[in-house]
Amino acid sequence: MTEPLVERITISGSSEQIWAIIDDPAALGRVLPGLESLVHEAADRFRAVIVLKSPFGPIHTDVAAQIHEAEPPRHLRLDLDGRARGLPGSFRVGIPIDLVPADGGLTTVSYSVELAMTGGLAALGSGPIRQALGKAIGELVRNVEREIAPTDAQPSSSGSGANDSPAYDRETAKLTRPRRCRRTRGRTP
């Protein structure tokens, strides 16, 4: 496990608006940097394919994510388990997140990123991965603020609830139903 990356940022928007993005698969799909696909499996669980930009080129990753310790709209812990395509090894990321209302319709977001890697990923070292994470977080913040900003042309999700549209495909920019697949216990996507 590498030294945790601890940061505090301020976002233009309320904690309720930010939490609404977490609860909406379509909105989440619009804000996650490098997202190729997102399948919302349950209220607290999803699978994704994410492309990370690194100094070595793009890294396609298959990620299983789970939300723990959810206390809407103030706190959650996001745990990510995944594998980079074409590289042996895996990664595990734990991200506790706190949303604290601030003056002027702002929210202070405090988080830490705990990263553990095995195999070929670990051989790359944590520096390039942490650098890619830092850039992705900056892009995520800009995307969240853009999603929250009131505009007439802002896309909206279809359906009446978060589970009505459980998957997002960036290529087609539309929501789709997940394919049912059989998994072998102990394997990650």
- How crowded is the C-beta side of 168, counted as CA atoms within 13 Å? 25
Output the CA torsion sign for 87, 6, 133, 170.
Answer: positive
According to the model, what pLDDT value does residue 77 have?
95
Reduced to 3 DSSP states, what percent helix, strand and coil does the chain have, rounded to the nearest 5?
Answer: 25, 45, 30
Residue 47 CA to residue 38 CA, distance in Å, equals: 6
Token pair 């589970």 in the structure block, residue: 163
Q: Which residues contact 22 (CB under 8 A, 6 or more apart)?
A: 28, 67, 76
**180 pLDDT band (50/70/90 cuts)?**
very low
Average pLDDT over residues 142-154: 78
pLDDT of residue 175 exceeding 50: no
Of 189 and 35, more confident: 35
Question: Which domains are present in the chain?
Answer: 5-148 (3.30.530.20)
pLDDT of residue 159: 40
Q: Which residues lie below 8 Å from residue 35, measured CB to CB, with a gap of 6+?
A: 29, 48, 49, 50, 168, 170
Q: Is the pTM of this model over 0.75?
A: no
Which two three-digit tokens encode residue 63? 């990620």
pLDDT, one tens digit per residue, over 68-114 is: 999 999 999 999 999 989 889 899 999 999 999 999 999 999 999 88
Q: Supply the DSSP symbol for 170.
A: T
Residue of 131 and 81 predicted with greater confidence: 81
Q: Which of 2, 5, 1, 136 is nearest to 59 (CA)?
A: 136
